[in-house]
Structure 1
Amino acid sequence: MGNRKKTAIIVAGGSGSRMQSAVPKQFLDLAGKPVLYHTITAFTEAYPDMDIVLVLPENHISYANNLLQAFDNIPAITMVQGGETRFHSVKNGLQQVKEEGVVFVHDGVRPLVSPALVRTCYKAACSHGSAIPVIDMKDSVREVNGEHNRAVDRGRFRIVQTPQTFVSSWILPAFEQPYDPLFTDEATVVEHFGHFVHLVQGEESNLKITKPLDLVMAKAFLDLRG
């Protein structure tokens, strides 16, 4: 099972507008290295034979070259230009998957994903075809509909994380479907194609860096680990 071809498609699309930063958030400094350095390293630590496909906007290529200088040993990274939506960006990345195997799709701005979670997703995808990491909701949740709102049972809901992981024979054909605005992540695309989505336990620390406070929290999590 551990010898299937493994490809991580890391989607690094965001600009950094919510970070109030000129530098795109995936290239901001986190504990002395760019955010994306940590993201990529989690995958190569999980499986040294992992292929990395980095999907990013054309105008970020110069940042990406600086990113590569952060590595002592540069992993096998292919850079691919992103598309107009996440669906199109992932589709561009999937063109690099040339043989049967397991494909991870991960947010570039989730740098604290652990190698253990990557391995959990891999094993579950090998067994079930897919693996979507989720965590429980800790907050109370209300559904708002126009003027009306009502409490809902948070026990029935999960917060979805990445890496969303699939066998290539599921995800490649699923992304040949026409784009639909309801495709919010890879799980919805694969599900729409007719496959069952298997959930695995995610990690509280696998947070998404979208605003300045998130970077502070990420640093704190890193300090706890270190």
Structure 2
Amino acid sequence: MQKFAVIVAGGSGSRMGLSTPKQFIMLHDKPILMHTIDAFHNYNQQISIILVLPEQEKKRWQQLCDKFNFQVKHQVVSGGKNRTDSVKNGLYAIDAEEGLVAIHDGVRPLVSSEIIRNSYVEAALQGNAIASVPLKDSIRWHKGDENRAIDRSEYCLIQTPQTFRLSLIKEAYYSLSDEIKTDDASVLEARGAKINLIQGDYTNIKITTQEDLKVAEALWSSLPL
């Protein structure tokens, strides 16, 4: 079954306190986004990669590809006004109707080949596969002046990749009007589908702050050569 990856990279870097969009910030020897694309390419060079970028950042991306001699084949499409629209644009760029598509945050560069592989395998079997990890900390419900302890074992943190049979997620996204969803699983769930969680990894972090970047650098330095 043909495999695709839609990598969404629409960040601005505002939470970093930087003018450089976070996906272009350096991690080790090259921009974060290149590591993310490499993760999918290194797992399987036959994956068709679609990169979704803000229109105004496409030129900067090409300059970075030239500077770092980045030659992994990928298609670049323009993002929308929010993540939901950007994913739609990425899916519109896929001509096929059948296959498997992993939708992944451009600033999760430490995703492992094991997670990617498991996501495609489970999506082929179950229709979808959503990476997640159990909560580590105690949590409390809080609203206004009220709060109470709740059982953390009933909750989890959602990551990407979120991988789907292509026809299912295309239909789900195309049926949206102006709704904005926080993730792709929510889009499919709104169509009545059962969501299938798979094991993610605590190292599969999303880099959105300076603290995240420091953690990513530490994790990167600990990776086997």
TM-score by length of 2: 0.95
In 1, Cα distance between equivalents of 2:68 and 2:168: 33
1:37 aligns with 2:39: no
Describe how 1:84-163 pairs up with structure 2 within 5 A: 84-99=81-96, 100-163=98-161
Describe how 1:146-185 pairs up with structure 2 within 5 A: 146-179=144-177, 181=179, 183-185=181-183
- C-alpha displacement of 1:145: 1.7
Q: 2:25 aligns with which of 25, 28, 33?
A: 28
1:65 aligns with 2:49: no
Flag as ranges the 4+ runs of structure 1 deviating above 6 A.
none
- C-alpha displacement of 1:123: 0.4
1:194 aligns with 2:192: yes
- C-alpha displacement of 1:181: 4.3
CA deviation map 1:88-112 (0-9, x unaligned): 1000000122111000100001110
In 2, Cα distance between equivalents of 1:209 and 1:67: 19
In 1, Cα distance between equivalents of 2:109 and 2:125: 26
- Does the CA-based 8 Å contact 2:132-2:199 persist in structure 1? yes
- C-alpha displacement of 1:115: 1.4
- C-alpha displacement of 1:75: 2.2
TM-score by length of 1: 0.95
State the identity %. Answer: 44
In 2, Cα distance between equivalents of 1:53 and 1:67: 17
- Does the CA-based 8 Å contact 1:133-1:200 persist in structure 2? yes
In 2, Cα distance between equivalents of 1:73 and 1:84: 27
Q: Any idea what SS the aligned residue of 1:178 has?
A: coil
- C-alpha displacement of 1:18: 0.8
Q: Which amino acid aligns with 2:99?
A: G
* Structure 2 unaligned blocks of 5 or more: none
Q: Say which is worse superposed, 74-83 or 131-140, in terms of deviation.
A: 74-83
Q: Any idea what SS the aligned residue of 1:163 has?
A: strand
- C-alpha displacement of 1:73: 6.1
In 1, Cα distance between equivalents of 2:57 and 2:70: 21
